[in-house]
Amino acid sequence: MSDAIEPKQEQPRSVVLDFDGTVTESDLLDRIALEFGDPAVYQEVEDGLHEGRLPLREVIVREFVPVTAPLEEVVDWVLDEAQVRAGFAGFVRGAQTAGWDVHVVSSGFEELIEPVLEREGVEVELHANRVDARAHGWRVEWRYPDDCEECGESCKRSLLPAGEVVYVGDGYSDRCAALASDRVFATAGLALYLTEQGKPFEPFTDFHALSETLVA
Ligand SMILES: [Mg+2]
Ligand SMILES: [Zn+2]
């Protein structure tokens, strides 16, 4: 018999970050749909989303149909325009060193997110949709499971890791996952929604502040 203490089986703890409008200062997915697509289509489907007539999946699929620019052109635009919130790379490294798994969960496209993460020099678990950038209209390859038990949509909740989850987000696609998380940092529309729902959250400003709260 050994006196060695069994290593305690610790629950994983994860920070789950939305990408557009959370890691980045502005929602690039929206801006691409507007600048490279058709503003009338964009407005029509966004109105449908906010009036509860259209699921998010259909909104994103439809707003990228009028986008016909080559992928490389849009990636170059993204790299010019994508400003990450202050302290992003330092936060990811500090959190990982402190034992957090860091995930990015996005309704956007891997093809547009990976170049930004690479530029920032961070390695995270990325869960996102994909896009086939066809010359006669981009075709979204939706990856999330359909019919979430809670919201009925194809949503991020099913991708939340096991164990303790801290969720950080700003928008519609974060709602259901945020309600299922242990601790939430929210800004913009997500903060309004959680206030209406009576779900406690802390305000999200930038990654320096998040580091001070979670890592320091
Ligand atoms: Mg967002
Ligand atoms: Zn859901």
Residue 146 belongs to a domain with what CATH number? 3.40.50.1000
Neighbours of ion ligand 1 (CB under 5 A): 18, 20-21, 170-171
Nearest bound ligand to CA 19?
1
Q: Number of structural domains, the chain?
A: 1
Average pLDDT over residues 90-95: 98
Q: Are strands 125-132 and 139-141 parallel, antiparallel or unpaired?
A: antiparallel
Q: Residue 163: inside a domain, yes or no?
A: yes
Spatial contact of 177 and 157, defined as CB atoms under 8 Å apart: yes
Ligand number, closest to the Cα atom of 156: 2
Domain-embedded: residue 49: no
* Average pLDDT across the chain, whole number: 95
Residue 53: count of CB within 10 angstroms of its CB: 11
pLDDT at 1 over 60: no
Q: Distance between CA atoms of 30 and 192, rounded to whole angstroms?
A: 19
pLDDT at 4: 57
d(CA 148, CA 212): 34
Residue 154 falls within a domain, yes or no? Answer: yes
How close is the Cα of 170 to the center of ligand 1, in Å?
5
Residue 32 lies in a domain: no
Query: What pLDDT score does 63 carry?
Result: 97
Determine, yes or no, domain membership for 200: yes
Structure tokens at 41: 């289509």
Q: Cα(9) to centroid of ligand 1, in Å?
A: 34
Residue 68 lies in a domain: no
Buried b (16+ CB within 10 A) or exposed e, 172-202: bbbbbbbbbbebbbbbebbbebbeeeeeebe
Mean pLDDT to the nearest integer, 100-116: 97
Whether 35 is covered by a domain: the verdict is no
Residue 5: pLDDT band with limits 50, 70, 90:
low
pLDDT band with cut points at 50, 70 and 90 for residue 3: low
For residue range 136-185, what is the model confidence (pLDDT) as tens digits? 999 999 999 889 999 999 999 999 999 999 999 999 999 999 999 999 99
Range of the domain at 205: 13-25+83-214
Is residue 203 one of the residues assigned to a domain? yes
pLDDT for 216 equals 78
